[in-house]
Structure 1
């Protein structure tokens, strides 16, 4: 595909690897990513237990990677201390005006409280921003969600491996922290979850894990009342996961990757945040880089259209690939549950009932007008009585239709539940079979190795047998020679010679 028009040739709702030119950055996971002016910025991350301190930049136009050479700030700002970016992972990165803000994460110089760093991409400068107020404890694996000029921080794991479920707000104008007191039941303490804002009022938290449990629950925090709730969701089944990445476009929340320390999550999910309905948008192979923990996802405007960009991750090996998706407009992402025959029947039932109500009101208004003109003491005539009876009959038939539609809707709902249960069971069975196949493949590899060893042993044994056979032949020849010598001695020829000489 042409470099300048590579994005226009993409099909909708499919992940495609980006064919970049030149060298790629080191593979990694648990990094942070952001998009600024048609460039993807990747900061930090982890690889083989070592935190990285670089900032890599992908230009969408040329599809080339470059490194941002960082330097410490000049120290003229009293609220910013001088420092070069340390190796860091498990942090968040948010674009705020002309800077990229890095919140939290694990680094060699982690303090007791959460550190806010910045990267000035125009000046290639790095520094630490001094914050005030109720500064939260240092942590990794938290979520940081931008809403207006505030960042909502939730959960994570502190430096002592204590799991957290607290809520903090950072005012970016004053760089002041506030700890938020919430009511109702909060999510269980967790880290490596995903969070998003809906309507600048509701914070949604999905998935994550504790030290022993992986979650697939959805929680909602009303930022006006500061009340937690756990709403019921509909649509496709969602497996537990942690280390996934999420990004919102309008009413849609896209979730990519994640895993449960046993296998990665190959499906890309979409949550309709206004209807709370999950749907599976795309599925990749089990060992695909998109089925990884610790990957990142961003959205980018390119030529007036939004695209999704995913980078990195770990699923047994580290990735440095970039994948892009061209999502359909929101109207095309309508969940299947709202397009089912049962839903259509229910909608038709409501429309029919509404139309019936209006029709009855209109007909009876007309009857009232007719009755007021009746010459017989204002009583309805036979024709009017017939009309009323006909309307009642139509009403009865419509009520029967509504009842039938509701019954069909209930029946289809039961069938949907049954299909979903069957799908879940088949998925579990497939995973079990895949596990067995993996075990059998491992056994096959072991047996093949043993067979190869046995073949080598047989070959060496054949060589030994050939040597033994040669020795046997030599031994037989020696035996024959010894036998001939013994025969000559037994014939007495020597004694005759001596006896002959005496004569």
Structure 2
């Protein structure tokens, strides 16, 4: 790769942002898009750049992107499948979109490709939706968007928020399920059964095995605290009714699968429009929520991203610490790392050596090459020039 394309300096930090996309591939967190506030304006960040955060060293890289570059957007739905990042939907200067793009993250060329569907029909334009990856397909759920009058053939899957009588266009929330198959660039709409969640947007989702989970979100004029499960083999919905206590209703939060039986919920905007910093673990087997203690109680976040790192750590990046519909100035660019499970013995040893690098200066050159590089990265993470944020 052209060395001019990628910059990697300790002082580089991704710009603050909200409504962005972030995914983890290998040992890097990739951050794309979103917006910031400049004076009284919302400004979308450049779509021809991507930021890489090394999960071991805590250092940032910046990379330029090329190809069929998507418009600058916020509210897109991002995912990774077979080394590629897919983004669908979102809101740009021209309004909401239903275009889908992909980029290979493994070859480090960062060339965008606009996916033109060969079969089926894509969902209607929307943003603030979510997705699951299962069986080499990307499955999209919900969101806020617009439909024409002729598209409103099932009122149960779309709740009208605001009509535009002049153009026969209706904005609102949906609970639709759409499937994209990258192998043949096809869209399909499965027939679901059971008890589906109400149409919503700005919710959170996560998947474990063949189950997709949806939690909370904006449901018409309120913010929900419910949790639903979709069997991705049978397309059957079921509502999970957990025992008390349960998190308060919220939107713009995150939900991350941290094991084969637990999900981690963080932050969001509460029913009374309060930015939150609480963290919760949901046990899928017992159907119980448990609040997780952490050192970031003074760092509320909403419209952030949360990705799974190694040892079940969750990396929360960006978002806003204010109610962005009223005071849109609190965008953030710090990476908060939540430890949701005990670390491995190897991880504990690497961290201990990294924190106490001065004690082990003579011993480090004696380590095997691969282990030495891993320890050197952790040393960088805990160095005085870095701000260690691991719990």
TM over 0.5: yes
Correspondent of 2:73 among 71, 75, 88: 88
Correspondent of 1:313 among 309, 314, 319: 319
Q: CA RMSD, aligned part only?
A: 2.2
CA 1:223–1:285 in 2, change beyond 3 Å: closer, same or farther?
Answer: closer
1:235, CA displacement in angstroms? 4.5
CA 1:306–1:287 in 2, change beyond 3 Å: closer, same or farther?
Answer: closer
Higher normalized contact order (CA 8 Å, seq sep 6+, divided by chain length): 2
Whole-angstrom CA distance in 1 between matches of 2:90 and 2:193: 28
Confirm or deny: 8 A CA contact 1:266 1:284 kept in the other structure.
no
1:115 alignment partner in structure 2: 99
CA distances 1:181-215 after superposition (whole Å, capped 9, x unpaired): 22233211110111122331x32211001341100
Whole-angstrom CA distance in 1 between matches of 2:78 and 2:243: 31
2:292 alignment partner in structure 1: 281
Mapping of 1:200-349 within 5 angstroms?
200=210, 202-250=211-259, 251-260=261-270, 262-282=273-293, 287-288=298-299, 291-301=300-310, 305-316=311-322, 317-329=330-342
SS in 2 for 1:154: strand
Whole-angstrom CA distance in 2 between matches of 1:226 and 1:98: 26
1:102, CA displacement in angstroms? 1.0
1:71, CA displacement in angstroms? 1.3
Confirm or deny: 8 A CA contact 1:264 1:286 kept in the other structure.
no
1:182 alignment partner in structure 2: 192
Whole-angstrom CA distance in 2 between matches of 1:116 and 1:293: 25
**Which of these two proteins has the greater Rg computed from alpha carbons?**
1
1:109, CA displacement in angstroms? 5.2
Matched, 1:147 2:134: yes
Which structure: greater strand fraction? Answer: 2
Whole-angstrom CA distance in 1 between matches of 2:69 and 2:139: 26
Whole-angstrom CA distance in 2 between matches of 1:26 and 1:211: 32
1:466 alignment partner in structure 2: none
1:172, CA displacement in angstroms? 2.6
Whole-angstrom CA distance in 2 between matches of 1:45 and 1:203: 25
Whole-angstrom CA distance in 1 between matches of 2:217 and 2:13: 30
Confirm or deny: 8 A CA contact 2:87 2:100 kept in the other structure.
yes
SS in 1 for 2:336: strand
Matched, 1:105 2:94: no
2:21 alignment partner in structure 1: 32
Any stretches of 5+ residues in structure 2 without a counterpart?
1-8, 147-169, 323-329, 344-391
Whole-angstrom CA distance in 2 between matches of 1:25 and 1:70: 15
1:440 alignment partner in structure 2: none
Mapping of 1:405-416 within 5 angstroms?
none
Confirm or deny: 8 A CA contact 1:307 1:326 kept in the other structure.
yes
1:279, CA displacement in angstroms? 0.7
SS in 1 for 2:194: coil
Whole-angstrom CA distance in 2 between matches of 1:162 and 1:21: 44
Confirm or deny: 8 A CA contact 1:235 1:279 kept in the other structure.
no
CA 1:223–1:100 in 2, change beyond 3 Å: closer, same or farther?
Answer: closer
SS in 1 for 2:64: coil
Whole-angstrom CA distance in 2 between matches of 1:65 and 1:199: 32
Confirm or deny: 8 A CA contact 1:196 1:204 kept in the other structure.
yes
Confirm or deny: 8 A CA contact 2:213 2:227 kept in the other structure.
yes
CA distances 1:353-396 after superposition (whole Å, capped 9, x unpaired): xxxxxxxxxxxxxxxxxxxxxxxxxxxxxxxxxxxxxxxxxxxx
Whole-angstrom CA distance in 1 between matches of 2:204 and 2:96: 24
SS in 2 for 1:177: strand
1:488 alignment partner in structure 2: none
After TM superposition, the score normalised by the length of structure 2 is 0.70
Whole-angstrom CA distance in 1 between matches of 2:83 and 2:138: 16
Any stretches of 5+ residues in structure 1 without a counterpart?
1-19, 73-82, 331-503
1:91, CA displacement in angstroms? 1.0
Which structure: greater helix fraction? Answer: 1
Confirm or deny: 8 A CA contact 2:137 2:182 kept in the other structure.
yes
1:126 alignment partner in structure 2: 112
CA 1:61–1:284 in 2, change beyond 3 Å: closer, same or farther?
Answer: closer
1:111, CA displacement in angstroms? 7.0
1:51 alignment partner in structure 2: 44
1:363 alignment partner in structure 2: none
Confirm or deny: 8 A CA contact 1:267 1:284 kept in the other structure.
no
Whole-angstrom CA distance in 2 between matches of 1:284 and 1:191: 29
Question: Number of residue pairs matched?
Answer: 294
SS in 1 for 2:217: coil
SS in 2 for 1:90: coil
SS in 2 for 1:204: strand
